[in-house]
Structure 1
């Protein structure tokens, strides 16, 4: 018992098709022993265990194989290469911005969403491109999940088969359907294409308000459902959000670098309107908010040629991140970003000073219940990075420092 998949061209060749891995999984579900696919799709089909993947390049070859006159080309399943791929984007490339680098490491270690706030040209996009290389390679299970989505979309699969996580960076003019998914025949959007990887939204407030608000459910559930008259399509959307924005429409609010003096020309009303484009429910789903300042020209000049060929900073950070993630998965079966208030109560052990500091901070800055939980999540990850069995006051203090948008709003109030 077998199934055959492919597109037959007029000259008799069997052309590759989209979604072969989905057909292979369907063959296993229907208890079929073999699946015959085009030559170009054989690597994708062989990822699925429990069914033999065969290939044929033409109709003549297929008929000959079925009649026993020609041998099928049998796929040899190749184990996923677990060797980390050397990335051209490493933290050693970035001069300065130590607080932003620290935020990236914490976000990668705990699976936290991150918002970077800073003027144009301070390195927000540069840092975001280096974030995905801090994450561990895809597991075999994750490779199949990612390849399923990208196969249906007709995207190239080679990098995912090597364990590289997706990195998607759509323009802020993208439609709601392009970002979330949709169409008369529902297709996955950018959030599904970023499944098990990173979704980078630059100029975050410039996205359509409806598109931004549509992120709320996927950020909570890890999937998106698209309802149509005849069907409801559900696509995976478990991604890590990295967003970037200016502090004001012109981007110069609060810039203090004397060598590149900039003056904010925005009115108070314009700044308020810009910041209000991000609703509180969306911000509640972003655990880390970090401010960036322009790097001084003297620092840039002094830092020329600073990158070492071994990329020590990046490799050291990746090693610490891997240990922290492994610790969380062993302890609770997932990363700290997924912990709710009840689970945090079981996992977190605060010493007396940490508890006192958190209570004082809550009273002083008016921490909401969600803000309290976000702070504890981040503090738990910081403790894991230091392999600390309990959360101490320095961990709480550092977690409280990543509340950049609130400081921007406070600055605007006194502007």
Structure 2
């Protein structure tokens, strides 16, 4: 992937350092983004105008073939065996890293805020200046410079998200089909003679995603009072006449990019209050989407959602920061290598730019009633947005 690191060059110039260093494994999205390489164990990526990797011998061959790096070195290239024999594994490893930096005339590095303390201390003992200068965040928070760069997606990344969303919609259809096929037995939904549970629907979601090249560690299928907690994963039998929030956020196993979508379903006759909540939430989502374009802030988009809810008499965190019911979360967030990343679509959210991939996900919650949430994922374009989400919205499943 041909990423634009001009912002990183400017950041290093402003910080007055020679390079940017990451010490992390492939489960760190900044590491994957900068290095173009994924490994299960920690390795080092240096950016000094070019990308340089320092990896174990185990990963050396694969890193040379798969990474975006200008150079790939092994620990053995810096006499690691003798350094470990003389100084122990930890100290020897730090001396190897210091030699790797010295080879490139790098005497000072900027590092992410969560950089390992032991590595930083070890490099300082070897005379390397290690700093954690802040980059300008997108909206509220202290996003590091790689997070900030990652927020603006390339055309290739945008298509990765779109592909993940196609798998997501297949999984949502599988979930809705299960609910549709269920029968109402007393207060519970049954499928093939057994109570239909949150766990059974999650299983169908996960199997469908695997068939489409995606996976996830967890998903949300939450019914009734469980749905009143926005991050309750849900468990147990699904209940007739109550809202079922299905929130799926898969990761494509090949590209590592996520998608995100929520729909709320009800099998049976929902209460008038739930119907009203659903219509309000659909209207809030449309009000938010109507604003999405370059130059509009994430805070503006969030305010549009709050306006819809507050005009209808529903509490929001904007109207009452202590409320535990109503609209009790941000309107959305960035999506990419992480399912939650920059930019913020909420209070303090900064200006949206072309290439920002964001969710719009208003919702209402009350343990006495349940919960309703509807979520689309879109990319900001030069003149508005492109909605990756084509899945229909309908509360009652018949």
Class of the TM-score when normalised by the shorter of the 2 chains: under 0.3
Q: TM-score, normalised by structure 2?
A: 0.27
Q: Which protein is richer in helix relative to its size? A: 1
Q: Which protein is richer in strand relative to its size? A: 2
Select the structure with the greater relative contact order (CA < 8 A; seq sep ≥ 6).
Answer: 1
